[in-house]
Amino acid sequence: MKQTTIARRVEAVGIGLHKGEPIRLILEPLEANMGIVFTRTDLGISFRAEPQSVINTQMATVIGNQNGFISTIEHLLAAINGYGIDNIRILLDANEVPVMDGSAISFCMLLDEAGIRQLDEGKKVLIIRREVEVREGDKFVRAVPSKEPKFDYTIKFDHPVIGEQRHVFEFSKTNFIKEIARARTFGFLKDLQKLQSQNLALGASLDNAVAIDDNRILNPEGLRFENEFVRHKILDAIGDLALLKAPLMGDYFAFAGSHDLNHKLTLAIFADAKNYELATLDAKLLKEYERVFA
């Protein structure tokens, strides 16, 4: 199996979650072994999608350096990861990826428009060889060896609308589009009011997030899935783990995970070479993991 990129250049315009201003997003093909590269066209600087590029994980995953940054990259990366795209350049004229509808489905549509092209180099995968866990109190994220990769996520909120939810997602492109891509980000009205008083989340609306007050969902259309909240957490994790630079061949478990714990997990995996193997997907490996690329 070969590495992939997109077949042609595509672009879109969307609103930034925090600034509330239009942002131009362009996706371009990239040659083999280049990975995922973000470029700030307004600053003329680029960042690779890798753990070392992460500079903040408080409200979103943010990559950058002293010269600039790009925020809220996880939903776009989830679509790229879900589609199994290995090499792509992402150009933005602002410091965040547009929020679109708060899920990854708009990015999936953009990738469908671009198409996928095979390259000459063999596809690389990151195989988990032994369990790696990051834990903070009762919260944890964990990567475990597996030949049928899945995401097993549990959340628990002291809120009548959310409560405790669990979803198990068997990783494949088909399943990603059907089960995960449409799950929207969510937030509490009291938190939004606080953020907007600090000139943050100025672009947030019922068009790009599930909003919750003390006891109900404010969106007139309701939820897209009964457990949309935990499905979105899986979407975030798929995006965060795209920073591993190759598809994860292993199970991911989480209880009350976060962008921060996901980032720490990527660092922990790479901290010891015994934890993983970066392998080229030959015929034998493809047979073992073929469902992932369905």
- Per the annotation, where are the binding residues? 75, 232, 236
Dihedral sign from CA coordinates of 56, 61, 65, 67? negative
N-to-C CA span, the chain: 12
Active-site residue numbers?
A: 259
DSSP structural state of residue 278 = E
The 3-state DSSP class for residue 274 equals: helix
Contact assessment for residue 46 and residue 56, using Cβ atoms and an 8 Å cutoff:
no
At position 46, the amino acid (one-letter code) is S
Q: CB of 27 within 8 A of CB of 88?
A: yes
Q: Mark the binding-site residues for Zn(2+), compressed into ranges.
A: 75, 232, 236
Element (H, E) at 77: helix 74-82
Residues in CB range of 80: below 8 A, 6 or more apart: 36, 88, 107, 111, 242
Tokens of residue 191, six digits: 């938190």
